C-alpha cells in the first residue's frame, strides 16, 4: 500500500523557517518524483515544486523560488520541504504528493498545517 506520511502541524514565528517531512512507503521511492502543493485557508491548490529523488533534481514554481527548498533522503525514503522567512501569507496546509509520469498526482500525504503567528 502506497503511503505518504507527513510530519506534524507547525506553529512558527514570523521570519523563522520550518522544515517538514514526507516519508514514503509501499513503493520504490526513487521511481517517482515527489511534488509539493500549497492550500491556503479556504483556497484552492497551488503547485510549489518537485524533486526527483533518483537524481536529486528540483524544479520550482517561480513564485516559490527563494521561499521553498526541496530535498530528499534516499536512505530513509523521505522528502523534505523547508520554507524560509515565513510571513502570514505562508500560513497554509502543505501537501506532498507522488507524481505519476502520466501527468497526475496519484497519492497524497495527509498535509501539514503551518501557522505563522507571533
Q: Which residues contact 27 (CB under 8 A, 6 or more apart)?
A: 2, 98
Q: Could you tell me the smallest distance in angstroms from the CB atom of residue 9 to another protein?
A: 13
Residue whose CB is less far from another protein, 55 or 75: 55
Shortest spacing between CB 118 and another protein, in angstroms: 27
Closest by alpha carbon to 92, among 108, 69, 113?
A: 113
When the beta carbons of 10 and 47 are compared against another protein, the nearer one is 47
Alpha carbons 118 and 112: distance in angstroms, whole number: 19
| Interface contacts to another protein, rule CB under 8 A | 35, 44-47, 59, 61-63, 95, 97, 99-100, 102-111
Task: In angstroms, give the least distance from the CB of 74 to another protein.
Answer: 24
| Backbone φ and ψ of 42, nearest 5° | 65, 15
Amino acid at each position: 500500500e502506497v503511503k505518504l506520511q507527513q510530519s506534524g502541524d507547525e506553529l512558527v514565528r514570523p521570519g523563522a523557517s520550518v522544515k517538514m517531512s514526507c516519508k514514503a512507503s509501499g513503493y520504490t521511492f526513487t521511481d517517482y518524483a515527489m511534488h509539493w502543493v500549497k492550500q491556503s485557508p479556504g483556497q484552492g491548490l497551488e503547485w510549489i515544486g518537485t524533486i526527483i529523488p533518483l537524481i536529486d533534481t528540483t524544479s520550482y514554481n517561480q513564485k516559490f523560488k527563494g521561499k521553498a527548498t526541496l530535498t530528499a533522503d534516499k536512505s530513509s525514503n523521505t522528502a523534505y520541504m523547508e520554507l524560509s522567512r515565513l510571513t502570514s501569507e505562508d500560513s497554509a496546509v502543505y501537501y506532498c504528493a507522488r507524481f505519476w509520469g502520466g501527468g497526475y498526482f496519484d497519492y497524497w500525504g495527509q498535509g501539514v498545517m503551518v501557522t505563522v503567528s507571533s
